[in-house]
Structures are given as C-alpha cells and as structure tokens.
Structure 1
C-alpha cells in the first residue's frame, strides 16, 4: 500500500509538472494561435538555468552557485521569457508554418548546445547533484513524494489561477480576437505583434518553469531528455485536454501521462529486453492511436474551449456574457 501511494505521488508530480508546461503552450497556441513546435527547447532552458544556479560548484565545470531553489525557478522563468521574447521579436510576423520551422530550429539548437557545451551543462553525461525539495525526508520515500507533490501542486495552482485571470481579462480577450480575426482586431486599434509577443514570452516562461520543476524533482538532467519527442508529448496533452481551455490543458497532461506510463509498463512486460528500442517506437504509435480515438469521440478535446457567442441584458439592464459550449460533433 505504501509503495502504491509512493508511486502515485511520483506519477502525479511528473504529470503536474507537464501540466505547467502545457499551460504555457495553451497561452501561445490556445489563446494567441502561435504554432510553437520548439517546446522542448524552452523546457531545456529552464531546467539548465535553474540547475546551474542551484547546484554546488564542481571541478571542471562552469557554474554551481548553490542558490536556493526558488531563486533558480524564478531565474528559469526570466530566462524563458527573455529568450521567448527575443525569438518572437525576430519571427512573430511569420506565418504559422514558418514560425513552426523557426521554433523547431531553436529547440534543436538548445539540445545540441546542451550536448556540446560540456563545461557548462555536463554534455552527454548530464547535470547531476541538482538539489531536490524536501531532501531531508529522502529516507522516507512516501513522505518525500507527498511533500514534493504538494509543492508542485501549489505551483501549478498559482500558475493556473494567474493564467485563468489573464484569459478573462481584456488582454486575454484581445488575444482571442487576434487569433480569430487579426484584420478585425487591428482595425479596432490593437497592435497584434505587441500582444502576440507578450503571449509568446509568457508561454515560454511557463514552459521554462515546468522544466525547472522537473529537473529539481528528478535531480538529474541530460540532453536526451529534451528531444523533439517532448514537444510531441506536450502537444498531445493540449489537444487531448482541449486547446484554449486551461483546465483542459491540466486534465490532458494527467490523462496523456497516464497513457504514456501504462503503455510503457505494458511494453516493458511484453517486449523482450533486446527489443526495447522497437518497444519505444511502439509506445509512440500507441499514443498516436489513442489520440486519434479521443479526437474521434471528442473533436474539441476532453474539455473544449468555452466560446462567448452573444451578450444579453436582463430586465435590470445588467450586461453579462453568455458562454455556451459548442457540440462535440
């Protein structure tokens, strides 16, 4: 029973860290319509920046400042926002397909930099000794897992409430207006580039924070953790949960991570040890099939975006927004 609870805490902690990343992608794609396929790059930036600031100094490696974990997480968000803003400033005017190519190139560059800058990142050997929250309880796996789960859940809740508030604010409504009809939004005096840059930077900051949270929970990072497969996972989570809906992004992260974990266990039990490489490919196929099935049953995801379609006044003259869900079929 204790082992089951410990595994459940570990599973949910990883899933909720992915939910933070998924919230960032939802800001960029679900709210602003920015097609970012370089998610892995922003996650890697957050993980390595926080790791460099919080790990102890090691011989032969640059960095290692032994700073507190909250400072590392804050620095990861700043680094993600700054790099996202800089990349967006250069590319935000491109159409979606060109923006996708640019962000993918950024992700590949970040992964190759982590692989080759050995004195800074540890290179192919990775970065170890990353401090873990509540490490004083490491001897008690259950308590350690539950405390970490609570911390990650609090971080996710704070980010979720902030993004929800932003989505319902005038800024969020302008983003959706630009996403739906940029020409109409610009004709009303809205600077589309300015709003998209802010959304892109905010999404990058959340992705970097999610990467930092994962790095400190696991305690070790390596370039192989940030291959394009990570981007595929996060996009699948958002699509399954419901693009444009922050709660859907969180639910999608948990559901898809559960499918990923279950499929990995099944393949590990059924596929011989010398065929594990093929088993990993089969796992991706199974996730793709599950994605197709879910979208056939729920085309807009498990929790679709709520769309404001009309405004009405009650008998007292109060004006309220009426939100209706479109049918799934």
Structure 2
C-alpha cells in the first residue's frame, strides 16, 4: 500500500499558513528577525506560489526561522520537489522553539522518508513525533503514522535499522517535557491463534537478534512485550501475549546464545491497543511484539 503525500491546491497552503502564524513567539525581536517576520507576512498575502517561495526564502535569509522553513517544506512537497522539501523540514526542525514545532517538522520530514521507502526510520520518527506533540495530535500526523505502520507491517525490518534505534539512546523533546525510551514495535508473525513463530516471524526474530548483539548493545538488556488484538477474552489474550513473548525470547536465545541473561518478557494482551477499531487492519497492527531497552 503506497500513499501519496503530494497534494496540490491552495487550500492546503492556506491551512498551513494559519497553523504557522501562531509559531513566532520563540523568535528574538532583533531587527533582522522583525524583517524576517515582515517577509513571512508578505508571503502569506501572496496567491502566486512562486512569489510565496521568494518571500519565504527572503525571510530565512535574513532570519532563519521555523515558520518560513516549515512553510517552504509544505510548498515544495505540494510541488513534488522532494529534496528541497526534505531540506526545508530539516531546517525547520533545527529552528523549532517547542516540542510542538519540533514534532511537526520531524513528522513532515519523515513523511517524505516513508514515501522514499525508508520505512523503519520513518516509522520510528513518526512515533516519536506523536509522543512529542502535546494533545491533541494533528489528524494528518495520526494518518501518516497509521499508513507507515501498515506498510511496515508487510515488510522485514532489518537489523541495522533496529540497532540504530536502540543505539541512539533516550530521546528527549526540545523543551524537556517528553522523554522516550528506545523501543521498536516489530511485526513478528505467529501461526494463527498460537505462540508458534511462522517463517516470516522467524526471519524477523533473526534480524532482531542480529541487532541486539551489535557491539554497542552487548552490555544492554531488553524487555520483550507481547501484544494481541482485542478479539477473544481479556484473560485469553493476556495468556497468549505472554506465550508469544516467551517464544521470541526462546528463539533469540537459541540462535544467539550471548543474549542469555539479557532478555525479560512480559505480556500486555489487549491492554495497549494501537487502534480500537474493528477492521482486520486494526487487528493486524495491534498484534505485535515490542522490544524495549532496559535502563
């Protein structure tokens, strides 16, 4: 399932300006930044996209700021200009003034990475953006995260991507309000209604083991958490999630003996659903194994 993030039309541009207009408060009131704010306001009054881009570029030239970089990213994305959009959102992130603006730039950037096929990295960062953004989280971010989860569920997450997430360590939002421990939700597949790994599940566990035995992680311990969908009784799902987490642990220890003593398991049953819907997609996304690095 591929989804397009390139939407045309002035409606999206206008909405973006309304969002961005609230985000100047973190900038200094120095002369250059007042001029940058003036250029940004001029960009908002333009109807010609090229003129909008020109004013926004003037704004970031005199005073690099979140608003103008973020809006440039949205415009470049609408025009299908991948690299300039990626650069603009990255620069917006560097100029973020709060956990909210940090999350917005991060999510927009990683929408592009998902479109380019970098699914594991995009998934991790979209989940991070969701955690960093104060409530309510924008619907477009929730939708993008769901789409990437669906695509990732159908793929094998390589050891290099799993390992890099754990090696990055704790993630703290810009303003210190949110701290996220490294964790990965893996689409580990089992035989129907059982705790037996199928062939796809065994391949994913193999990649997980290769990640957890990387040199930088050899002294770390990990918690393996099983999750089910909400069909069936809560007691049954709790027991099934515990058995599935133990199955992953047993497979890892068998294939990677150095992990002995470094793995713990827990089952959460249906207690931490990602989605409360009743579609088959909701159920598939809820059935997962989460691996968390221990402190």
- Relative to the length of structure 2, the TM-score reads 0.23
Larger Rg: 2
Q: Choose between structure 1 and 2 for higher RCO, CA contacts under 8 A separated by at least 6 residues.
A: 1
- Relative to the length of structure 1, the TM-score reads 0.21
